[in-house]
């Protein structure tokens, strides 16, 4: 079962939280990125099974990164991470091909549910 995950967030603390939730549930975090540009590079390099992608980041935001990742791999499985009140951006990202989204502050069971559902 594929479970290699790339975690993208500009806040180290948020990456640590997601990583913790994922590893405790048997998923392997193969890489981390701090912005959209890095996310795209790491995606090409690591070919993960799934990406958790923060919407608001410096350099290149999550929606732009999502579009670039889906150009590289139209089958890419991406879950967006958003803060409360970013509904419009969440809708944009779903239209751009994100499979699901999780809202901060992260709840472990919701994160795992989204990941399992997305990995199918």
For the chain, which residues make up each domain, given as ranges? 4-119
- How far is the C-alpha of 18 from the C-alpha of 9, rounded, in Å? 10
pTM beyond cutoff 0.85? yes
Rounded to a whole number of angstroms, the distance between the first and last alpha carbons of the chain is 10
3-state secondary structure labels for all residues of the chain: CCCEEEEECCCHHHHHHHHHHHHHCCCEEEEEECCHHHHHHHHHHHCCCEEEEECCCCCCCHHHHHHHHHHHCCCCCEEEEECCCCHHHHHHHHHCCCCEEEECCCCHHHHHHHHHHHHC
Q: What pLDDT tens digit does each residue of the chain (120 aa) get?
A: 459 999 999 999 999 999 999 999 999 999 999 999 999 999 999 999 999 999 998 889 999 999 999 999 999 999 999 988 888 999 999 999 999 999 999 999 999 999 999 999
Asked if 53 contacts 80 with a C-beta cutoff of 8 angstroms, the reply is yes
Is CATH 3.30.70.2470 what the domain over 4-119 is classified as, yes or no? Answer: no
């Amino acid at each position: 079962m594929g479970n290699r995950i790339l975690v993208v967030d500009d806040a180290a603390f948020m990456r640590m939280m997601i990583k913790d939730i994922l590893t405790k549930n048997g998923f392997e975090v193969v890489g981390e990125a701090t912005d959209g540009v890095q996310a795209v590079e790491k995606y090409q390099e690591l070919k993960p099974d799934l990406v958790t992608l923060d919407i608001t980041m410096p350099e290149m935001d999550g929606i732009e990164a999502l579009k670039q990742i889906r150009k590289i791999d139209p089958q890419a499985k991406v879950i967006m991470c958003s803060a409360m009140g970013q509904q419009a951006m969440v809708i944009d990202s779903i239209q751009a091909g994100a499979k699901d989204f999780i809202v901060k502050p992260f709840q472990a069971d919701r994160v795992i549910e989204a990941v399992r559902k997305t990995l199918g």
